[in-house]
Amino acid sequence: MSPTAEKGPDRIPDVLIVGAGASGAVAAKRLAEGGFDVVCLEQGGWPDYKKARAPFPDYELTSGRDWAWDPNARQVPADYPVDDSESDITALMWNGVGGGTVVFAAQWQRNMPSDFQVRSLDGIADDWPFTYEDLEPYYVRVERDWGVSGLAGDTAFPGGDGPPMPPVPLGRMGRRVAKAHNDLGWHWWPGPNAIATQRYGRLNPCTQRATCLWGCSEGAKASVDRTYWPVAVERGVTLLTGARVKRLIVGSDGLVTGALYVDRDGNEHVQQAAVTILACNGIGTPRLLLLSATSAQPHGLGNSSGLVGKRLMMHPFGTVVGLFDDDLDSWQGAWGQHIHSLEFYETDPSRGFVRGAKWGLQPTGGPLSMTHSYPWGEENAIWGPAFHQQLRKRLGRSAMWGIIAEDLPEESNRVVLDPVKKDDSGIPAARIQYRMSENSRRLMAFHQERAKESLEAAGAYETVIAPFIRATGWHLLGTAMMGSDPSRSVVDPWGRVYDVPNLYIFDGSTWPTSAGMNPTATIAAVALRGVDHLIAERRDARTSS
Partner 1 sequence: MTSALARFDPGRRAALEAVANLLIPSGDGMPSASEAGVAGRWLDEVLRLRPDFGPPLAAVLDGLIGTDPEVALARLRSTDPAGFGVLAEVVAGGYFLNPKVRSAINYPGQQSVAIVPEQPPDYEQDGLIASVIARGPIYRPTPGRKRDR
166 binds partner 1 (CB under 8 A): yes
412 binds partner 1 (CB under 8 A): no
7 binds partner 1 (CB under 8 A): no
Rg, Å, the chain Cα set: 22
Q: What is the largest CA-CA distance in the chain?
A: 79
> Distance between CA atoms of 226 and 47, rounded to whole angstroms?
10
- Give residues 305-324 in contact with partner 1 (rule: CB under 8 A): none
Q: How far is the CB of 10 from partner 1 (least distance, A)?
A: 42
Q: CB nearer to partner 1: give 181 or 221.
A: 181
CB 276 within 8 A of CB 267: no
- Give residues 457-486 in contact with partner 1 (rule: CB under 8 A): none
Lateral strand order in the sheet of 462-465: 189-190, 339-341, 357-362, 398-405, 317-323, 462-465
Q: How far is the CB of 352 from partner 1 (least distance, A)?
A: 19
The residues that bridge with 318 in the sheet, in sequence order, are 403
Q: How far is the CB of 212 from partner 1 (least distance, A)?
A: 11
Task: Report how many residues bind partner 1 under the rule CB under 8 A.
Answer: 74
Q: How far is the CB of 466 from partner 1 (least distance, A)?
A: 16
Among 3, 81, 137, 169, binds partner 1 (CB under 8 A): 169
379 binds partner 1 (CB under 8 A): no
- Give residues 87-106 in contact with partner 1 (rule: CB under 8 A): none
The 234-273 site mask, x for binding partner 1 (CB under 8 A), equals ----------------------------------------
Q: CB nearer to partner 1: give 300 or 396.
A: 396
* 518-541 as b/e: b if 16+ CB within 10 A: bbbbbbbbbbbbbbbbbbeebeee
367 binds partner 1 (CB under 8 A): yes
Tell whether the torsion through CA atoms of 51, 52, 55 and 59 is positive or negative.
Answer: positive
Cα distances (angstroms) measured from residue 418 to each of 81, 87, 174, 421, 429 = 9, 14, 45, 6, 5
> Distance between CA atoms of 110 and 133, rounded to whole angstroms?
12
Q: CB nearer to partner 1: give 198 or 294.
A: 198
Q: CB nearer to partner 1: give 185 or 266.
A: 185
487 binds partner 1 (CB under 8 A): no
**Position 409: which residue type?**
P
User: Which of these segments, 232-240, 266-274, 392-400, 421-429, binds partner 1 (CB under 8 A)?
Assistant: 392-400
User: Please, which contacts does 231-234 make with residues 24 or more away whose CB atoms are closer than 8 Å?
Assistant: 231/29, 232/25, 232/28, 232/29, 232/32, 232/38, 233/1, 233/3, 234/1
> Distance between CA atoms of 121 and 476, rounded to whole angstroms?
24
CB 219 within 8 A of CB 227: no
392 binds partner 1 (CB under 8 A): yes
Cis, bond preceding 336 (omega within 30 deg of 0): yes
65 binds partner 1 (CB under 8 A): yes
Q: How far is the CB of 240 from partner 1 (least distance, A)?
A: 30
Q: CB nearer to partner 1: give 294 or 332.
A: 332
Q: How far is the CB of 298 from partner 1 (least distance, A)?
A: 40
Among 98, 163, 167, 286, binds partner 1 (CB under 8 A): 167
304 binds partner 1 (CB under 8 A): no
Q: How far is the CB of 377 from partner 1 (least distance, A)?
A: 13
CB 341 within 8 A of CB 359: yes
